[in-house]
A and B are shown apart, each in its own frame.
Chain A
Amino acid sequence: EDKVVQSPLSLVVHEGDTVTLNCSYEVTNFRSLLWYKQEKKAPTFLFMLTSSGIEKKSGRLSSILDKKELFSILNITATQTGDSAIYLCAVETSYGGSQGNLIFGKGTKLSVKP
């Protein structure tokens, strides 16, 4: 059975700290791994990773994928209170040869204290 496991499930830090969120997976027909940030409503897209070892960066956020060890990490440096959210990891698999079945992890709830 396909599964995506995130750790930790929750994390409390202070502003300025650096955090690392983990995502491991076991799936068949891997296409890509995605990170989303969810506050009150829609998950908002952060990164899509398809190749091992290539870091993607966006401001204070970065992510990398290891397809051999089947995991990804999301790093946030110099955290701010606005980073408080649930961070979802999702793995996209091919379904019957066609695109686009996302298997989500349970998420990591990040709380950044002032």
Chain B
Amino acid sequence: DTEVTQTPKHLVMGMTNKKSLKCEQHMGHRAMYWYKQKAKKPPELMFVYSYEKLSINESVPSRFSPECPNSSLLNLHLHALQPEDSALYLCASSQVGAGDNSPLHFGNGTRLTVT
């Protein structure tokens, strides 16, 4: 088990549904990340939050909407997804700050299937 908790573990949704993925960590990390991982591919960065502010958005379609309500929580709101969005969505967290060298710690992911 990891110290980054993601819910739900599995999600099946239709293309007209609205759903949210949730991520929580209590390690005091102030940077949180969303990655998308397709089968047999490495994770790809989607969003980075640093001190609850979005600092990196890797040109992700607007049907994915991140939210960071506080330093421990990270959400990913999903709306009008496409079947090709089916993937494993990984949340990660790390420390942040000049001179810090903190690895990313990943959650177990949400396996999303869009029908």
Report which A residues bind B (CB closer than 8 A).
Answer: 31-32, 34, 36, 41-45, 48, 50, 88, 90, 95-96, 98-102, 104-107
Is there an interface contact between A100 and B94, defined as CB atoms closer than 8 Å? yes
- Contact status of A100 and B103, CB under 8 A, knowing A41-B108, A43-B43, A106-B42: no
A98 contact from B4, B45, B50, B106, Cβ within 8 A? B50
- Contact status of A95 and B42, CB under 8 A, knowing A42-B90, A45-B104, A102-B104: no
Chain A proximity of B24: nearest CB distance (Å): 14
> At the interface, is chain A mostly helix, strand, loop or mixed?
strand
Residue on B nearest A95 in the bound complex, by CB: B56
Is there an interface contact between A42 and B96, defined as CB atoms closer than 8 Å? no
Task: Determine whether B107 belongs to the interface, using a CB cutoff of 8 Å to chain A.
Answer: yes
Which chain B positions have C-beta within 8 A of A98?
48, 50, 55-56, 96
B42 contact from A41, A44, A107, Cβ within 8 A? A107
Known: A32-B103, A36-B106. 17 other contacts (CB 8 A): A32-B101, A34-B103, A41-B109, A42-B4, A42-B108, A43-B90, A48-B101, A50-B101, A88-B42, A98-B50, A98-B55, A99-B94, A100-B31, A100-B33, A100-B50, A100-B96, A104-B44
- Contact status of A100 and B48, CB under 8 A, knowing A42-B90, A42-B106, A50-B101: yes
Is there an interface contact between B104 and A100, defined as CB atoms closer than 8 Å? yes
- Among A34, A98, A99, A104, residue most surrounded by chain B Cβ atoms (within 10 Å): A99
Which chain B positions have C-beta within 8 A of A34?
103-104
Is there an interface contact between A42 and B55, defined as CB atoms closer than 8 Å? no
Complex formed: what's the CA distance from A43 to B42 in Å?
10
Which chain A positions have C-beta within 8 A of B2?
42, 44
Chain B proximity of A66: nearest CB distance (Å): 18
